[in-house]
Amino acid sequence: MKVLVTGANGQLGQVFQKKEKQIKADFIFQNSSSLDLTNHAAIEAFFQENQFDYCINCAAYTNVEAAETEVEKAFLVNAKAAENLAKVCQKNQVILIHPSTDYVFDGEKETAYLEVDDTQPINVYGASKLKGEELIQISLKEHFIIRTSWLYSEFGKNFFTFIKSQIDQNAEEVKITTEQKGTPTNANDLADFILWLISDKSKAYGVYHFSNLGSLTWYDFTLEIKSLYHSDIQVSAVDHFKTKAKRPQNSTLDKAKLIEQFNYQIKSWDKSLANLITEIG
C-alpha cells in the first residue's frame, strides 16, 4: 500500500511523519516546494511516476486572519488545489482523505453541528474550505472529507503551543476569549483515526466530523493547560477580541455519524490533552 501525504511541513503533516510506522504502508511526504498542488500538470506527472492507493491532503491555507485580505491565495490553496488533486485521484483511482473545518458553519446553532446541517461560513477561510469540499465532491466519488475543529499538537503554531510557550517563558498573564465554544482536537487523534480508516480499507465515503469529545471555550481550554502544567500564569477572561475575520460562536461538531459508521471510540478533549502533555512534557 502506498500513501501520499501532502502539506508535509504543516502541523498535521508532521504528525503523520511521526506516526507513519503505525500501519504497513509506504508513505511519501510532499510539501508545496516539492509538489505544487495549484499546478494540475505537475500533480498528474507526479502520480504517473508513483502508484498511490491513498492521498491524505494536509495541504491548506490556515491563516484565518490573513485570508480576509489574501482571498485569492486562500481559494487557490483550499479550493482550486483540492480540485486539482481530486481530479488526478479520480483519473488514477486513488482514494482521497481531505481534512476540512468547523468554520464552514456560521456558529448560530445552539447544539452541535451535524454533517447535513446547512453550511454558511462567515469568513474567507471557511468559505475557501467549503468550496474545496464542494469541488472534491463533484470531481471524485472515492473521498473522505473529515471536518475537524481547533486542531492542536506539539508541532507548529497553534493555540496549545502558544499557551505552552507563555508558560515556559514565565509570562504573568494571558488574555483569552470566552466568546467562542467548540472542541479542541488533538491532531494525533485525528491522524490515528485516518490511519485506522486506511487500515480498515473502508469504502463508506462521504463527509464526517471528527473532534475530541466535549464542548468548551478557549478560556476553559487554557485553564486546563495551566492546571496540567501546574503553572502560576494568570488567565484573564475577555468577552471579545477585535479581529479581521469573524469566528463562529459555536462550532461544536457532532460525531455520532462517524462513531456509529465505524464503531470508533473517540477520546474526550481533557483526556487527550493530558495524554499529549504526559508524552511531550
Identify the CA nearest to 79 among candidates 33, 127, 123, 43.
127
Known active-site residue 103? no
**Unique residue bearing C-alpha cell 488574555:** 175
Q: Indicate the DSSP class of residue 255.
A: -
Catalytic residue selected from 54, 61, 103, 125: 125
The C-alpha cell at 184 is 479542541
Q: How many helices (H) and strands (E) does the chain have?
A: 11, 12
Residue of 22, 207, 244, 18 whose CA lies nearest to 117: 207
- Per the listing, cell 511521526 goes with 18
Please give the span between the terminal C-alpha atoms of the chain, in angstroms, as a whole number: 34
CA-wise closest residue to 277 among 183, 176, 167: 167
Helix (H) or strand (E) holding 162: helix 159-168
Dihedral, CA of residue 265, residue 56, residue 129 and residue 250, to nearest 10: 20
Residues forming beta bridges with residue 98, ordered by sequence position:
145
In this structure, the number of other CB atoms found within 10 A of the CB of residue 80 comes to 18
Q: Which of 84, 27, 35 is nearest to 54 (CA)?
A: 27
Pairing verdict, β 95-101 and 173-177: unpaired
Residue pair 125/101 in contact by the 8 Å Cβ criterion:
yes
Distance of alpha carbon 178 from alpha carbon 155, whole angstroms: 25
**Residue numbers annotated as active site:** 125
